Amino acid sequence: MKNRELKSSITRKLLVIMSVSPIMLGTVLYSQTAEASSETPVISQSVEQESQSAELKGSSSVEDMCYVNVEGWDLQEGMPLYTDLYTVKKGEELVYHAREVEGYRLLTPESTKKMIVDKNEAFIAFNYEKIKPETPQGDYIADGRYVTVTNSNYNTWSNFSWKYRQSGKDLYNKTFQAKGRYEHENGATYYSLYDEKGIWYGYINEKGVKVGNGKEGAYIGYNKYVTITSKSYNTWSNFSWKYKQSADLITNKTYLAKGKYHHINGSTYLSLYDNQGTWYGYINEKAGKVANGKEGVYIADGRKVKVVNKNYNTWSNFSWKYRQSTKNMYGKTYTARGRYEHANGTTYYSLFDNSGKWQGYLNSSATK
C-alpha cells in the first residue's frame, strides 16, 4: 500500500513538471517529490534506448503514460521551429504555453492550449509567421516608369539611412527608369533610378522628378525659337521613330520649340511648331541652334545684294523699330554680312554699305 501511494505521488509530480517546462524531442524525464523514499531513483533516458524502455513498460504506471508531441511551425515556409515531447498519464490534463520564438510572431489565436490526454501520440501545433524587420521606407513596389530629374536640389541616396550617393545637379535634365519605388513613412515617395545601361543611381524623392510616358522622359515646357542649321537630322512623329519630315525641308528655317524631352538615350528632342502653329515633329537638338527670338539665329553670309524695291523699310531690331526707307537705297548694292531666317518665313539681310556702315535689317524680297 505504501509503495502504491509513493508511485502515485511521483506521477502527480511528473505532470506538474511537464506543464511548466517542456522536454526536448527524444527525452523522457521522471522525477520524484520529497515524499518519495531515498531508495526511489530519478530516471532520465532516451526513448530510442529500446532495451531500457522495455524494462519500464513492465511497470503498470509506465503503461498508463502517453506521449504528446507539441510543435511550432513557420506557416509560410512550412517547416518546424521547435518540437517538444511530453509524457502525460492517460486521462490527465496537459497545459501547454506556446514558446516565444525570436523573430516570429504567434498566429494561433490561443497562446495556451489544454488537452485531456486520452490516447498515445497526441499532437498539438502552434503556427507562427516571421516578423518583417521594421523598415521606415516600407516595402519595395515594382514600378518601371521613366522619370526626368527636373529639380537639381534633390540628391540621390544609397540607402534609407541617407548615405549620399549623387548630386541632383549632376542628374538634372536626365531621364532614368524608376524600376521600383518606396512609400516612406515620412510621407515622401522615393524612386529607385537606373540608366539605360542598367546602372543604379540611387533613391530620389519624387519631388525631384517628373514622370514621363516612355523612354523619352517627361515633357518639359521650353518655348524657345530654334533655327535648324544641319541637314543630318529628320523629324519624328513619335518616340518609336516614325518618320515625319526630311531634314532638307526644314534646314535654314526657324521654329518655335514649345517643349523638349530629355531621352534616356542621352539626347534631347525638341517639339517644333511653325509660325502658324503647325507641328513639325520631334528633332534632335543637335540639328539647330537656339535663338534670342523669332528672328532665329544669326547666320554668316557675305553675299552682295542690290535693292530693287522702293516699298520696303529697314529695321534696327526685330521689334520692328524703323530705320530707313528703301527709297533712299534703291538701285544701290550692299553687303549682306549675315542673315536671319525668321519664324514668319522671311529671310532678313543685315546690310552694310561700302564704307562699312550698317544700314539695318531688310527683307530679302526687296533685293536681287
How do the domains of the chain map onto residue ranges? Answer: 2-130, 141-211, 220-290, 299-366
**Contact present, 349 and 301 (Cβ < 8 Å):** yes
DSSP at 132: P
Check residue 62 and give its pLDDT.
66
User: Per-residue pLDDT tens for 187-235?
Assistant: 999 999 999 999 999 999 999 999 999 999 999 999 999 999 999 999 9
pLDDT at 36: 34
Joined together, the cell numbers standing for residue 117 give 490526454
Alpha-carbon distance of 218 to 200, in angstroms, equals 20
Domains 141-211 and 220-290 share a fold: yes
Q: Which pTM value belongs to this model?
A: 0.65
What pLDDT sits at residue 285? 98
How far apart, in Å, are the Cα atoms of 75 and each of 12, 19, 113, 126, 246?
35, 25, 18, 9, 65
Q: Which amino acid is at 305?
A: V
Q: What is the pLDDT of residue 163?
A: 97
Residues of the chain where predicted confidence (pLDDT) is lower than 70: 1-62
**Pair type for strands 175-183 and 209-211:** unpaired
pLDDT at 26: 32
Q: Which CATH number fits domain 141-211: 3.30.110, 2.60.120, 2.70.98, 2.30.30?
A: 2.30.30
User: Can you give the pLDDT at residue 17?
Assistant: 35
What confidence score (pLDDT) does residue 40 get?
A: 30
Question: Helical H runs in the chain?
Answer: 2-20, 50-57, 60-63, 168-171, 247-250
| pLDDT tens profile 178-198 | 999 999 999 999 999 999 999
Question: How many helices (H) and strands (E) are present in the chain, helices listed first?
Answer: 5, 29
What would be the CATH architecture of the domain defined by 220-290?
A: Roll (2.30)
